[in-house]
Amino acid sequence: MDVTSKPDTPATPVFCTIVPPHLLDKLAQSDAPEHHEPARRTLEHDTLLRTRRHECTLRAAAARAAGSDKPNRTIYDAQHSQDLPGTKVHSEADKASKDASVNRAHAGLGATFELYLKVYGRHSIDDAGLPLNATVHYGEKYDNAFWDGERMVFGDGDGKLFKDFTIPVDVIGHELTHGVTQYTAGLDYNGQSGALNESVSDVFGSLIKQYALKQSADQADWLIGADLLAAGVKGTALRSMKAPGTAYDDPNLGKDPQPATMADYVDTIDDNGGVHINSGIPNHAFYLFATAVGGNAWEKAGQVWYDVLTGGKLKKDAKFADFAKLTIEAAKTRFGGSGAEHEAVVKAWSTTGVVTAE
C-alpha cells in the first residue's frame, strides 16, 4: 500500500460545518427568539455557502510550498461581519493575544499540525507545508465553525446554546481534517461517502484531542465538541463515537439522531443524504477498533485509518463496506493477518453491521 501518494490537484472543496443542518433546523423552529433567530441566520448563511461554487481550489494549490516541521499560522478577525478573511490580527511569531479566541484558534491549528506531523509524518493539511489560516468572530451570534477549502472560520455562538467555537480542539481538528480529505481521497460529500468524509474528520478530531491531552483510548471520552454546549443544555456534546445517539436530548436541540449500526441507518435527502447522521456508524466502528486494540488510539487504529485515507485506493464515492474492506486490508498489511489488530477491525465493522465477520 502506498501511504504517501496524494493527488497533484486537490479535490474541489466542499463547505463543511461542525453543527449539522438537522440540529439548526430544530432550533429554527423554536418559539423562543433567542434560539430561532441565531439558528435561522446561521442556516441561511450555511445554505448560501453550500450552494456557491467554490473558487479556492487553485488558490490553495498555488499556496503549497516545501514541507516544514513548523506550522505557519495566521489569525484574522472578522469583527462580526461575514467578510473573509477579515483583519489580520496574529501571525506565527507574535506573542499571545489579549483575545482568547485568537489564542485558542492559534493553539488548535498547532495541535492539529503537530499530530499529523509527529504521528503520520504529514507536513500540514496538504503534506506540502500549506499555511494554516483562521478567522474568528465571524458573523453575529453565528452558531457554527467551518472549513471553506482555504481556512478555518469560527463563530462566537449565541451564548445560550452554543459557546465560542474555538473552545473545543477536536472541532478545530475535525474541520481541518476536511482539508486533509480534500487533498487526499476527496470523498464526495453526499450519502455514505459524505458520511465517511464526516466520520474521518470526527476520528482525527478526536485523536487530535487525545494526543494533546495524552489520553489512551480507554481514558478518552470519545465526544465531539464536549465543551461547546452552553450551561443548561441537556447534553454532553455534538456527537458521541462511543455511543452514537446519546450526545444530547434537549427540548431546544432535540434528540441526537445518530445510529450506531446499519440496522438503524437513516435514509434521507436532507443534509446531503444524512452525512452528519449516518457518520455515527463508521465513528462507532473506529471506537470499537481503537478500544479493542488499546493503548494510544492514534498509534495503531489511527494509523490504519490514515493509511486508507492517503493510500490512493479509496474511491471518491466509497460506501461504508468499501472503506471497511480497505481498513481490514490495511490492518493486515501493517500488523499481519493473524494479529489482534486485524481481528479487532473485522469485529468492529461486523458489530456495526457493515460487513459480515470473516
Tell me which residues are annotated as active site: 175, 276
Give the SS3 label for residue 134: strand
* CA neighbor of 179 nearest in space, from 29, 11, 3: 11
d(CA 220, CA 211): 10
* CA neighbor of 80 nearest in space, from 121, 129, 139: 139
In degrees and rounded to multiples of 5, residue 53 shows phi and psi of -75, 125
Retrieve residue 182's grid coordinates.
480534500
What SS3 string covers 129-154?
Answer: CCCEEEEECCCCCCCCEEECCCCEEE
Retrieve residue 186's grid coordinates.
476527496
d(CA 92, CA 70): 10
| Count of residues in the chain | 358
Beta bridge partners of 254: 250
